[in-house]
Structure 1
Amino acid sequence: MSNLAQERKYKKIITALSIIIPLAVAALFGVNLKKLGFNVEPLTFLPPIYASVNGLTALVLVAAVIAIKKGNRKLHEQLNTFAIFCSLAFLLMYIAYHMTSDSTKFGGEGVIRYVYYFILITHIILSVVVIPFVLTTYMRAKLGDFPNHKKIAKKTFPLWLYVAVTGVVVYIMISPYYV
């Protein structure tokens, strides 16, 4: 199969995942198994774990950039693959937490409340926006299209890093209000 044919195939998958993932998260976010009558324990231990995974993702992304700047393509690829795995692990834990626990309300007042919601809203929006960027960047590398990989990676990296870092910030800001 030619690179062009492979790219077309992958673009269809990327488009589907870029739509399905946010819709599934939104749908599952509204499902609380306890309220539906299931006898499940709230997974209240997960937020600090998935916040830590976000922090790890940020560190891995920075390490991946350092690796490629030093010419270590193999390490760069491994680190980015691991960052994708971390993001997926975060997503699964986030969904599991929200399906078994009541959402926590932010209790801060005044200016800090606006700061929190600004960070939260931009984090959520960019976490959706970054999905096709990450997948396309990864696909371009896998297909050996390094000029286009590099071009989109320059956009993907800051978006993905912002999402990872703000995930930690949101957790730190809301953690005093967890029950």
Structure 2
Amino acid sequence: MARDKTLLVGVDGSDSSIRSVYYVAEMVEARENFHIVLFHVLPSIPPELLEFGGAEDPGIEQTLDETLKKEQADWIENTKLAAEPIMENAKTILHQAGVFPSRITALFSSSIHRPDIARELIEMAHKQNCGTIVVGRESYSSFKEIFHHHVGEELAKKGQGFAVWVIA
């Protein structure tokens, strides 16, 4: 798929995220040469699943490590399942606008550490050969905007080589 015709859309279930999906649906509609990658960044894994205290016995250490990895994988899978309705809603919006299912890919981040959302979006855009990154922007009062940092601003700074659409 051509890079300039592949869009990465950050989807998190917020109103602005849904507006961005509607915007992309309107822009792309049934055009056959576009591909849309819906991308959901998973929340941070709980601290208790990041590490354990260790053990002096190597056998016990290995068992604890394997248990922790399984618990992490289970948590990630359950978190993906919880986000699936958000992704299905986004797919439905695109389908109703005429975007063929074969032109839509839905992906989730897989990082177990606190996500740097802008970095995750940029890395996935690279991996999926996207030329455009689309994110929603929540409305904030002018007072809150002074103290609020937004992923769209980070993408504008760090996303060299990408078109960045921030949908309000």
Task: Give the TM-score of the pair, scaled to structure 1.
Answer: 0.26
**Greater RCO (Cα-Cα under 8 Å, separation 6 or more):** 2
Q: Please, what TM-score do these two structures have when normalized by structure 2?
A: 0.28
Q: Greater helix percent: which structure?
A: 1
